[in-house]
Structure 1
Amino acid sequence: MTAQPFTEHFFHAQDDLRLYYRDYGDRNAPRLPLLCLPGLTRNSKDFHDIACRHAPQRRVITVDYRGRGRSAYDRDPVHYDPVVYLGDLQQLLAVARIDRAVILGTSMGGLLAMGMSAAMPAVLAGVILNDVGPEVSEDGRQRIADAIGTDIRAASFEDAAELWRRGFIGAYPQLEHEGWMKLARATFVADGNGVRLDYDLAIAVNLKAQSTQPLPDLWPLFRGLRKLPLLALRGALSDVLSAETFVRMKREHAGMIGVTLPDVGHVPMLDEPLAQAAIDDFLGGL
């Protein structure tokens, strides 16, 4: 039997909620560790392949936010909030004894990386943003708000993969069966009646309440990354990060490396050859 390429850990947030993370690679590796932050309803499983790719050179941490994956669900939905998540990440860094790291943030994870530039700037050694910026296209925002919190179940991972293929073929027109299965296994979890979404549906409470309000101005947080190495990835078919916002990001951060990935929407899975090459080069240069 092949040994599991990561160790599993639990820690307690400031409010004592039990949270989960995976730890790949050697914690004493000389290269900067990589902290991977998933999207709104996602979890640590999304980063397994990229963590395995980089674990021979550096330590890689992937996390389940509260209410996702193997982390405990919060009894009060008001705590499903970015400010609370930043506090949880601060606690994780302390528990994992990480003083500086490169942050890879997908979607909401990228927004949290920007938030870290204000809340804990000394931690950041570089940032990779995956299909997210300081402006979120309204079509994508409403699509996410409409979909989140719906209790979606399937009889098996195979059925879930087909369900996801029908729903998201527009974002992944080139994805084959193996890719849909990988996505289904990262999105769903088995229970006694088949498989269900691997997050607390109550995450939708805050999001739906906020979806009718304009987003705050996030450009000041993005400008907090100006002095840092920055790689930004954008899916060419994205309905969340527009081409216009991507161009402005480059103007605001002259050193930003911007890479547009063809034939993929929100969000790139980071196994695209162009994404892999861009991340390899970026990390290799730090």
Structure 2
Amino acid sequence: MASDEGFSDFFYPAADGLKLHARIYGEANTVGWPVICLPGLTRNARDFHELALHLSSKVDIPRKVIAFDYRGRGQSDYDPDIGHYNVGVEAGDVLAGMAALGVEQAAFVGTSRGGLIIHVLGALKPTVLKAIVLNDIGPVIEAEGLAHIRSYLDRAPKPKMFAEAADAQRRVHGVDFPALTDIDWARMVRAICRETEAGWVPDFDPALADTLAGIDFGKPLPDLWPQFDGLATVPLLAIRGANSKLLSVATFEEMGRRHPRMESATVEGQGHAPFLETGDLPGKIAAFLDRAEREVISK
């Protein structure tokens, strides 16, 4: 049963027995493709709350929306083996969650790491993908952007008060996100942090930072062009933050040249990764999903 906040909590076991969590919005909605939302490296299902409410209750064709917490994030169990914090295992966890919910196919929205997981799903089980929204992620990750993420994780602040937490996020990310308002920063803190006796702390396993420790940012990172090319038959909306350090303009443009069904949107005043609940993004995403589904039906 949905809570007063518009969603219900769903728990399911991973293949190795770890208890994992997802939020379900619009559980009774059966018309239209369901939408699966996959967050970034250290983010969680709360990242998609406003977008999920929009897609599940504020559009002409409300959809069921499922937002996942990967292992080690949000309400999912932490994994004692940090080697399992990788996109391959996490893609398997998403498939396990879909199976537990009886969802065979869906449209996918992937922010950052979530987009990488979509690339893996396209290789593992391409039939699950009906449409794709990639939020500031592509087959090439810029080392500068990933180094910035690692640097932030290594020195993440531990504020005592909520206002301090919002100010801390603004200090770190404000240069790349001049378009955000005080309300946006406050919403960000509530999405990525949890309140404890020690203050507002990031809502993920601290060991996640260790998974980036061995990366040599002086060398080019492996790309996923073959996996991206494998998505060529799936309708795609690619979103890029104009100030992104992770997804370059060159990669963004090359994605458009390679993918015959790609639509694109650049979000001014935001970096990595754009807040999908801001501006006209909810409407753009909803309209894209509607177009993609109508195209399939009309064939």
TM range (shorter): over 0.9
| TM-aligned CA deviation for residue 99 of structure 1 | 0.5
Aligned mates of 1:113, 1:183 — CA distance in 2: 24
- Cα contact 1:39–1:107 (8 A) shared by 2: yes
Gaps of at least 5 residues in structure 2 are 294-299
Matches for 1:81-100 after TM superposition, within 5 Å: 81-100=86-105
TM-score, normalisation: structure 2: 0.92
1:206 corresponds to 2:207: no
- Number of residues paired by the alignment? 285
- Cα contact 2:134–2:238 (8 A) shared by 1: yes
- Residue identity matched to 1:225: L
- Cα contact 2:276–2:282 (8 A) shared by 1: yes
| TM-aligned CA deviation for residue 142 of structure 1 | 1.1
- Cα contact 1:157–1:188 (8 A) shared by 2: no
Identify the residue that residue 21 of structure 1 maps to in structure 2: 22
TM-score, normalisation: structure 1: 0.96
Identify the residue that residue 252 of structure 1 maps to in structure 2: 258
- Residue identity matched to 1:44: A
Identify the residue that residue 243 of structure 1 maps to in structure 2: 249
- Cα contact 1:21–1:62 (8 A) shared by 2: yes
Identify the residue that residue 140 of structure 2 maps to in structure 1: 135
- Cα contact 1:156–1:195 (8 A) shared by 2: yes
Identify the residue that residue 114 of structure 2 maps to in structure 1: 109
- Residue identity matched to 2:81: D
Supply the RMSD in Å over aligned alpha carbons.
Answer: 1.4
Matches for 1:36-185 after TM superposition, within 5 Å: 36-56=37-57, 57-150=62-155, 152-185=157-190
Aligned mates of 1:171, 1:151 — CA distance in 2: 17
**2:226 aligned to which of 220, 223, 228:** 220
Aligned mates of 1:23, 1:151 — CA distance in 2: 30
Aligned mates of 1:211, 1:52 — CA distance in 2: 40
| TM-aligned CA deviation for residue 90 of structure 1 | 1.1
Using the aligned pairs only, state the percent identity: 39
- Cα contact 2:108–2:129 (8 A) shared by 1: yes
1:273 corresponds to 2:295: no
- Cα contact 1:14–1:91 (8 A) shared by 2: yes
- Cα contact 1:142–1:211 (8 A) shared by 2: no
1:208-267: per-residue Cα shift (whole Å, max 9, x none)?
213446422300111111001000000111111111111100011022001111111111
- Residue identity matched to 1:183: M
Aligned mates of 1:279, 1:118 — CA distance in 2: 24
Aligned mates of 1:110, 1:98 — CA distance in 2: 19
- Residue identity matched to 1:272: T
- Residue identity matched to 1:220: P
- Cα contact 2:140–2:222 (8 A) shared by 1: no
| TM-aligned CA deviation for residue 3 of structure 1 | 2.0
